[in-house]
Amino acid sequence: MRVHTLKRAVVALALALPGAAIASVVAAPAAHADACYTWNRTLSQGRSGSDVRELQLRVAGWAGNRDIVELDGQYGPKTAAAVRRFQSAYGIRADGIAGPQTFAKLYQIQDGDCTPRHFSWNEMDDGCGRGGWTGGPLTTAQTRQNALRTMWKLEALRKGLGDQPLIVTSGYRSRTCNSQVGGASNSQHLYGNAADLISRDKSLCDIARAARNHGFSGIIGPGVSGHNTHVHVDSRRENNRDGSPNNTYWAAPSCGIPAGYR
């Protein structure tokens, strides 16, 4: 049982107790939702810190069309806008302020290992079978951090598609794996920044079009050679180590998304 579920039960029991007891329970600090992370203050524009960065990581998929949310720990207009989109998608008052309701929803959709509910570390470490997050250009910690951000963007994309399941057919790849599958020498898969997607319920074009609104600066899909059976999404604008242009590149001509930098 998650701790926040237990907390709800404790608070419910306290409602039957005398007023002083009720106050002592309700005023207690927020309980941990799981083993990953707990916010201890309301966040809004002008705030900064590691707790803002943790929030940015989880709302990166709500950046909006052609935009990204930098994980810089600064609660600026783009972070506030992403929080509003997240709140609206989950039926929370959309004020751009991250408070108890927003955090409660994040706890609800977050597993104890920090991954979002519908995606897992094993699923993302599957370019050529489990690679253990080694054999790429980054440290294991850096690669996993990128993959975690990718998963949170995928969770937002999944929600934007009406909570329809997405299947990751290729996630992180080591250099050896990337060579085996014929990947580009500077493939975003090497950095944990990318995922190749299919769906049983949505068309590839549905995925490619929706991805434009969920923080992906790289989208390659139907109409591009080698991408007619899946949609590739990545976070290339947030990767300054691969030597590629620090721009948004989308290409899915069969879906009405012409190839080009934006």
pLDDT band at residue 245 using 50, 70 and 90 as cut-offs: low
Please identify, among 66, 86, 114, the residue that sits at the C-terminal boundary of a domain: 114
Number of domains in the chain: 3
Supply the mean pLDDT for the chain: 88
- Is the pLDDT at 26 greater than 50? The verdict is no
Helices marked H in 66-117? 77-89, 100-108
Range of lowest pLDDT (23-37, 77-91, 97-111, 144-158): 23-37
Instruction: Report the pLDDT averaged over residues 23-34.
Output: 41
- Is the pLDDT at 74 greater than 90? The verdict is yes
Q: What percent of the chain has pLDDT over 70?
A: 85
Please identify, among 88, 114, 140, the residue that sits at the C-terminal boundary of a domain: 114
157/247 same-domain check? yes
129/107 same-domain check? no
73/144 same-domain check? no
Instruction: Report the pLDDT averaged over residues 36-63.
Output: 97
Instruction: Report the pLDDT averaged over residues 136-162.
Output: 97
pLDDT band at residue 146 using 50, 70 and 90 as cut-offs: very high
169/255 same-domain check? yes
128/251 same-domain check? yes
pTM: 0.86
127/166 same-domain check? yes
Per-residue pLDDT tens digits for 183-218: 999 999 999 999 999 999 999 999 999 999 999 999
For residue 156, give every residue at least 6 positions away whose Cβ sits within 8 Å of its Cβ, in sequence order, or none: 59, 60, 61, 62, 86, 89, 214, 215
pLDDT band at residue 129 using 50, 70 and 90 as cut-offs: confident
CA dihedral 262→188→229→221, nearest 10 degrees, is: 0
Active site amino acids = 227
- Is the pLDDT at 246 greater than 80? The verdict is no
Task: Residue 45: give the domain boundaries.
Answer: 36-114
Read off the CATH number of the domain in which 53 is found: 1.10.101.10
Cα distance between residue 173 and residue 130, in whole Å: 9
Distance of CA 9 to the CA centre of its chain: 30
Cα distance between residue 84 and residue 87, in whole Å: 5
Which residue is it, tokens 């005398």? Answer: 18
Please identify, among 114, 133, 160, the residue that sits at the C-terminal boundary of a domain: 114
108/135 same-domain check? no
pLDDT value at position 46? Answer: 98
20/48 same-domain check? no
Strand duo 218-220 + 167-170: pairing: unpaired
Amino acid at 187: S
pLDDT value at position 85? Answer: 98
pLDDT band at residue 15 using 50, 70 and 90 as cut-offs: very low
